[in-house]
Amino acid sequence: QVQLVESGGGLVQAGGSLRLSCAASGRTFSSYAISWFRQAPGKEREFVVHISRSGGNGYYADSVKGRFTISRDNAKNTVYLQMNSLKPEDTAVYYCAAANTPYRSIREASYDYWGQGTQVTVSP
């Protein structure tokens, strides 16, 4: 019953940065693991990064490792995705997704709730 809303997308030049937010409504946010996925035009949705219910270190796709950082603030019911050194290939709609599980998963099917997405466009 968690509702997720992404924000923070926009247009940046290659090498720039954006910080995405995933704000959740509901009273059990801390019970959910959160992942970010992205979908580029004409491409399948792909896993970006995961953070556990308790926070800590994220688990990153190789394509973003070292450039993106995930964090969560359960008191604010918000997960953040700091994206640095952006590349044109990062252009996509970014979605946050929530799963009521203590386990890490990069599979879309593991996630019960999805936000509406926020557009990230990186120009050359």
DSSP β-ladder status, 33-39 and 92-99: antiparallel
Structure tokens at 34: 């959160």
Confidence of residue 55 (pLDDT cuts 50, 70, 90): confident
The per-residue pLDDT for 21 is 98
Closest CA to 19 of 81, 101, 68, 105: 81
pLDDT in tens, 60-110: 999 999 999 999 998 899 999 999 999 999 999 999 999 988 888 899 999
SS3 assignment, position 108: helix
27 pLDDT higher than 80: no
The per-residue pLDDT for 74 is 84
The per-residue pLDDT for 115 is 97
